[in-house]
C-alpha cells in the first residue's frame, strides 16, 4: 500500500520535491578560482610583511644551521667535521645566528667597490677630466660593480621582508661606513667641480638620494637591463644623466663661480 498524504502526493514524490529545494554548490569556473587564489595569496603576503606582523615572516628562517654545516663539511672534506656543538659555542640559538647573518650580509655590501670607485675618480681628476665626465664614469662603474654582486640583491630582499627592527640593527654599522666612504669621495668631487651643498641640504641627503636612484635602477635591471643603459644623443646612459641631475639639484656653484660652474657641470 502506498502511503498517501492528505495532499494526495506520494512519499517518493515528496522526497524528490524536498531534494530539489536543497541548496546546490556552485561550480566555480577555473579562471575565477585562479583569480581568487591569487588575490588571497597576495593579501596573505601583504599581512605577513606588515611592521606589526613581520616577525612571523623572517626570510632568514629557512637558513638552518644544519644545512650550513653540511655545506661547510662538503666543501672542506679534509678538515675536521663541524658539528652543531661548534655552532652552539658561538651562538646560543638559531635566532642569534640569523641576526648575525643579517649583519654579515649588510656588511658585505656596505661599500661595494668603494676602493675601485675612489681610485677611478682620482685617476680622472689627475687626467684633468671635466667634473661632469667624472660623475658620469663613476656612476656607471659603480652600477656595473654593484649589479654583479649577488650579496647586494640578497640584502635588498632581506631589507624589504625581514622584521624592521632586525634590519635596522643589522644596517647600523654598514650605513655608517657607507655614508663615511661616500661622503669623503663626494666632498672631494664637489670641491673639484667648484660646487657646494645647498644651505638646506646635507651630504646625507645627497648620498641617500643617490642610493635610492641606484637601488631603483638595480631592481629594474633584473627584468629590463636596457633601461638604465639607454643612451641620449651624447651617449650618456639614463643612469648617468639621473646621477648628475641629483648632484646638480642638491648642490650649487661656489659664490663667484656661477658662470664657470654652469659651463663645466
Query: Rg of the Cα trace of the chain?
Result: 31
- Show Cβ contacts of residue 252 under 8 Å, excluding neighbours closer than 6 positions: 195, 196, 197, 198
pLDDT of residue 158: 78
pLDDT of residue 16: 52
Q: Residue 104 region, left (φ>0) first, then alpha (ψ -120 to 50), else beta?
A: alpha
pTM score above 0.85: no
71-130, pLDDT tens digit by residue?
888 888 887 788 888 888 888 888 888 788 888 888 877 776 778 899 999 999 999 999
pLDDT of residue 90: 86
pLDDT of residue 193: 96
pLDDT of residue 19: 53
Q: Spell out the alpha helix ranges (H) of the chain.
A: 11-20, 30-48, 65-75, 84-88, 94-108, 114-126, 131-147, 150-161, 164-192, 203-223, 238-250, 258-264
The three three-digit cell numbers of residue 103, written as one number: 649583519
Helix axes 131-147, 114-126, angle to 10 degrees: 160
What are residue 252's DSSP bridge partners? 196
pLDDT of residue 61: 62
- Show Cβ contacts of residue 104 under 8 Å, excluding neighbours closer than 6 positions: none
Contact 218, 156 (CB under 8 A): yes
Burial class for 199, CB neighbours closer than 10 Å (0-12, 13-18, 19+): exposed
Residue pLDDT tens, the chain, 265 long: 445 555 555 555 555 555 555 555 555 576 766 666 667 766 766 665 565 555 545 556 667 788 888 888 888 888 778 888 888 888 888 888 878 888 888 887 777 677 889 999 999 999 999 999 999 999 999 999 888 877 777 788 778 777 888 888 888 888 898 899 899 999 999 999 999 999 999 999 999 999 999 999 999 998 999 999 999 999 999 999 999 999 999 999 999 765 544 444 5
pLDDT of residue 261: 45
pLDDT of residue 1: 47
Question: If we measure between CA atoms, which residue out of 252, 235, 253, 225 comes closest to residue 137?
Answer: 235
Amino acid at each position: 500500500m502506498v502511503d498517501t498524504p492528505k495532499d494526495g502526493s506520494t512519499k517518493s514524490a515528496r522526497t524528490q520535491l524536498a531534494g530539489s529545494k536543497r541548496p546546490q554548490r556552485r561550480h566555480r569556473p577555473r579562471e575565477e578560482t585562479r583569480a581568487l587564489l591569487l588575490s588571497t595569496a597576495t593579501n596573505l603576503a601583504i599581512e605577513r610583511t606588515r611592521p606589526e606582523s613581520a616577525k612571523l615572516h623572517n626570510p632568514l628562517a629557512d637558513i638552518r644551521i644544519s644545512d650550513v654545516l653540511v655545506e661547510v663539511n662538503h666543501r672542506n672534506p679534509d678538515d675536521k667535521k663541524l658539528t652543531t656543538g661548534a655552532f652552539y659555542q658561538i651562538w646560543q640559538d638559531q635566532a642569534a645566528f640569523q641576526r648575525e647573518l643579517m649583519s654579515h650580509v649588510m656588511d658585505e655590501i656596505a661599500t661595494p667597490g668603494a676602493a675601485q670607485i675612489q681610485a677611478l675618480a682620482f685617476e680622472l681628476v689627475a687626467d684633468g677630466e671635466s667634473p661632469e665626465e667624472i660623475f658620469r664614469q663613476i656612476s656607471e662603474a659603480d652600477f656595473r660593480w654593484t649589479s654583479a654582486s649577488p650579496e647586494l640583491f640578497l640584502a635588498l630582499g632581506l631589507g624589504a621582508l625581514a622584521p624592521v627592527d632586525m634590519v635596522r640593527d643589522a644596517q647600523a654599522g654598514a650605513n655608517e661606513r657607507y655614508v663615511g666612504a661616500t661622503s669623503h669621495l663626494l666632498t672631494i668631487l664637489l670641491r673639484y667641480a667648484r660646487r657646494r651643498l645647498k644651505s638646506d641640504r646635507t651630504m646625507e641627503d645627497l648620498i641617500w638620494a643617490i642610493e635610492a636612484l641606484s637601488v631603483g635602477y638595480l631592481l629594474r635591471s633584473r627584468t629590463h637591463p636596457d633601461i638604465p643603459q639607454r643612451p641620449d644623443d651624447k651617449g650618456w646612459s639614463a643612469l648617468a644623466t639621473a646621477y648628475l641631475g641629483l648632484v646638480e639639484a642638491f648642490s650649487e656653484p661656489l659664490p663667484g663661480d656661477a658662470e664657470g660652474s654652469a659651463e663645466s657641470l
